[in-house]
Each structure stands twice: as C-alpha cells, then as structure tokens.
Amino acid sequence: MILLPILLMDAIVLVIAVLLAVAERFLVVYGECTITVTGEDKSRSFRVKGGGPLHTALQEGGFRVSSSCGGKATCGYCKVRVASGGGSILPTEEFFLTRRERQEGVRLSCQVKVREDAQVMIPDFLTTVRGIVDNNLFNPKLKWRFRKNNLYHDLDDRGRVAFREAETARAHAIVERHLAEQHSLVPMLQDMNASFRYLPESVFPLIADRLHVPPSAVFRVATFHNAFSLKPRGRHTVSVCLGTACHVKGAGDILAALERELGIKAGGTTEDMLFSVEPVRCIGCCGLAPVLTVGEDVHGHMTVKKVTGLITQYREAPVDVQAAS
Amino acid sequence: MRGLLTIVIAAILTHNIALTYLLGMCPFISMSQRIKTAWGMGVAVIFVVVLTAAINWLVYHLVLVPAHGELIHFIVFILVIAGTVQLLEMVMERFFPVLQAHFGIFLPLITVNCIVLAASLFMILRAYSFAKTLAFALGTAAGWTLAIVIVAAINEKLRLVGDVPKGLRGPGIVMIAAGIIALAFLGFGGMLRIQ
C-alpha cells in the first residue's frame, strides 16, 4: 500500500523526464558554436555546444571566470566583454553594468546564452580590480592612478605604467634570483620594491607567472605589508619615527615641518619624485629621539629648525646611480 | 460565470497573494526596482501560474485521485512546475523568440517562486473546479503583478526624491512600502469573500 504513491511518483517523474528529453532533442537546435576568446596573454578559440550560458561554455573551454552566485545574476563578478554574438543586454544584467561598460559591450557571462559564434574578451585579474576601484567598491586609498610625471612615464592603453625592455629584464632578474628559495615571494617583492622604489603593476603577472600562483595571491601579499608601495615613491624616503619616545620629544612637530617644507602630506610624494614622507611606528633608536631616516641614513636629535637644511642637503646630493638602476 | 468573476476579483483585491498572504516575496523584493522589469516578471508569472495550475489540476484529478495518491500531491506539483517551465522555455525559444527576449529570462526565476506552487495548493484546499482553478490562477497572478508594479512605481518615485536613509535602501524600503500598500488593500477586505 505504501509503495503505491512511490511508484506513482516515479511514473510521473519518468513521464516528465521523457517529455523533456524529447523536447530537447527536437526543439533545441543550436548546434556547435565557435567561441573566440582574447585574453590578456592567451587567445584561443574552441567549439562548444550551443544553448547553455556563456559562463559554463567558457569554463568548459578552460577559461576561468570568477563567479560567486552560480549564474543567478546576483554577484556581478562574471563580467566579460562580448564583442559579437551575445544578443542584447538583459534586464537582469542592467543593474550591474555602468553606462560605460554597456557601451563597451560588457556583459555578465552567466546571462549570455550561446546561440551563435561569439567573440569574447576576458579581462584579466588586475583589470577587474581596477574596475572595482573605479566603481568605488574598494578602498580608494589603493587607487592605482597617479600623475604621469613619475620616473617610468609611459602609460600603456590600459592606464598602467609601461615597462621598457630594460625594466622587464630587471624584474625578471629579480624573480630568477629568488626562484630557487622556498617562500620566495616576499623577498622578491622586497627586491622589486627596492629596485623600482614601488611595485609597478606589471610585476604582478610577471611574478605570478613564474611562481605558478594567481596574480591575486601576489597582490594580497603586496597590499598586506606596509613596506610595499603601489604608488611610485620619491628617490629619498623620509621616515619619521612616531614611536612613544619620539612622540614625547616632539616628533609630530618634525613631521608637520617636513610636510610644510616639501608641500606634501604624510604618505605623499613630491612632484619632482625626489622625496616621499611617511610616518613609521618605531625605528628602534629611542636614545636619538626624535629621529628620522632618509633612505638608509639615520638622523637623530632632530629639531624643526634642522629640517630645511636636511632637505636641501639631500636635494642637492648627486644622483645615486646605483639606486636608480 | 458570476462565481468565476467573483473569484478573479477576490484573488486580485481582497485576497491578494502578495499583500495578504505574503507569498512570492523573494522576487517581489528583488524585481521591484523598475516598472519595466516588474511588469516583465508579472506577465511571465501570469503565464506560468495559469499554465501550471491547469496542468496540476489535470494531474491531480486525472492521475492522483483515481490512483489514491493524494498524499504526494505536494511533491508532484513541484516536479510538474519545474518540468513545465523547462518545456515552456524551450518552446518559446524555438517558436517565439520575441516573447522569449521579453520575458524568457524571468522563467528560470519563476520555477522556484512560491506563488506558482501556492496557486496549485490553494485550488486543492478550496476544491475548485477546472474553470474556477483557471479563474483563481489568473486572478492570483494578476494580483501579484498589480502589487509588484505598484511597489516598483513607488520605488522609482522614491529614487527621484532620493532621501531614503542609507540603512533602509533596497529591501528595507520595499518592505515598508509593501506594508503600507497591504494596509490599503485591507480596505477591500469586506467587499467579497471567497471560499
């Protein structure tokens, strides 16, 4: 007796399944579609059976597009640029796309259905991050935009600092030097930071590639440590100690005097790329308080009056060729 | 005929499924940002609710009752709804691409919408005939559409004013707006009674 409803349900499920299978056989006739993907560093085209979402098709083709909602158009992470063959923007997508993105043909790949041959451009990780920053969904202090008058002038079409050949070689040399060690990421970044005086965006894919980790992992480490800067820094980094001893001895006034003298705020860099000022917690020479360092040099017993002289001294110092190359 | 009309009007006004039973709240909140989307969703809901209620009535009375399988009607209805929506999507994509472009994207969302199931369950509870079931399904879905379009209109106006407190933006203000409209719909309460 108890078996009857179960059998009944099985029968109904079977009928529905058969109906769906038949319908799919006769109604869905998309055939195979070619999807051409242009990525940041790899371009490839593959064939896929039409009818499914683009996101799934890309995954089958070996391209990972991040997504956290599983194709329900609620997370908005799976953005790709569909150059052709995507149809029109659906109402479910509109909420996630800015006006500019709509003009550029950006779509949520989970909502685009593969019906015909399509051309897709997948933004790489860093472009995605920049998009998040531009949309103010991220800490704006980490903005990667800066004025053009820094040392490595040329910006490429994506707005990042273009590496010249020598610089790429330099970055490669640093990576290769540390590659043999275990846990070499932080030393690598330290050397990069020392060599370029900040971490140019171009080094992230470069390091990630050699270490076989995603660029996000490198980015995570680079933004965690205060010692790394994502913005170009001046030739001389002036670190003002604000530890307890220095604070009592008037380090605040010294910092204020420095800011006034250089015309920048703490954490900033002068227009001529000579000086960066940053407050630090403790340098460990409380006996010399108040103390500051310029590059590797330690200057103890500072006074407000001494600041101008000190800055002039470094401004007129000969360019340290070793540091710049 | 009068009985059918009564059911339709009652389902739209006095027994509005969104505002008195508080069913179908998930799309009600998420899809009520723009009138256009709300309307698209509403039309799709009308379509699916009427279709599935009709099929479910047939399945219940022609298969489950003769076989004494009323016990499992709940599960069967869910399966039938899911299957129907899938089938509907395929048919629409093949034969009515224009219609598909208009509200095809809402169909997968509707599969798990509780008003679709609710309409089928109410018709069993109230022992409706086939004609009454169709009338009830139509009224229920139309009432839900009416409610979501009203809330969407209010949301659009609110965005123009733009001084909703930060913590209330999004779902919060939709809930409050829906509550006030529900109070207004309570005014219809004494008009008719359906069984």
What residues in A contact B105, CB-CB < 8 Å? 90-92, 111
Q: Would you say A255 and A295 are in contact if contact means Cβ atoms under 8 Å apart?
A: no
Spatial strand order of the sheet with A32-38 comes to A43-49, A32-38, A118-121, A79-84, A106-108
* Phi-psi category of residue A11: left, alpha or beta, with phi > 0 → left and psi -120 to 50 → alpha: alpha
pLDDT digit string, tens, across residues A99-150: 888 888 888 888 888 888 888 887 766 566 655 555 544 444 444 444 434 4
Q: Look at residue A64 and tell me if it is in a domain.
A: yes
Chain A contact probe: residue of B39, B77, B86 with most A CBs at under 10 A: B86
The domain boundary residue, chosen from A213, A232, A251: A232
Tell if the CB–CB gap between A24 and B90 is shorter than 8 Å.
yes
Residue B15 CA to residue B115 CA, distance in Å, equals 13
Torsion of CA A116, A117, A123, A125, to 10 degrees: 90
Question: What angle (nearest 5°) sits at the alpha carbon of residue A302, between those of residues A299 and A304?
Answer: 135
pLDDT value of residue B145: 93
Instruction: Clarify whether residues A251 and A298 are in a common domain.
Output: yes
Tell if the CB–CB gap between B90 and A27 is shorter than 8 Å.
yes
CATH number at residue A77: 3.10.20.30
Q: Pairing between strand A79-84 and A275-280?
A: unpaired
Q: Does B98 touch chain A (CB under 8 A)?
A: no
* Lowest-pLDDT choice from A77-86, A88-97, B155-164: A88-97
Closest approach of A86 to chain B, Cα-based (Å)? 13
The domain boundary residue, chosen from A232, A261, A276: A232
Q: A282 φ, ψ to 5°?
A: -155, 135
Residue A254 CA to residue A243 CA, distance in Å, equals 13
Number of domains in chain A: 3
* Cβ neighbours, 10 Å, residue A26: 10
What's the pTM? 0.53
* Cβ neighbours, 10 Å, residue A84: 11
Instruction: Clarify whether residues A122 and A56 are in a common domain.
Output: yes
Instruction: Clarify whether residues A214 and A278 are in a common domain.
Output: no
CATH number at residue A184: 1.10.10
Q: Look at residue A57 and tell me if it is in a domain.
A: yes
In chain A, which residue's Cα lies nearest the Cα of B85? A20
Domain around A166: 145-232
CATH number at residue A268: 3.40.30.10
pLDDT digit string, tens, across residues A28-70: 767 788 888 886 556 788 888 877 888 888 888 877 777 777 7
Q: Look at residue A6 and tell me if it is in a domain.
A: no
Q: Look at residue A262 and tell me if it is in a domain.
A: yes
- The whole-angstrom distance between residue A102's C-alpha and the CA centroid of its chain comes to 22
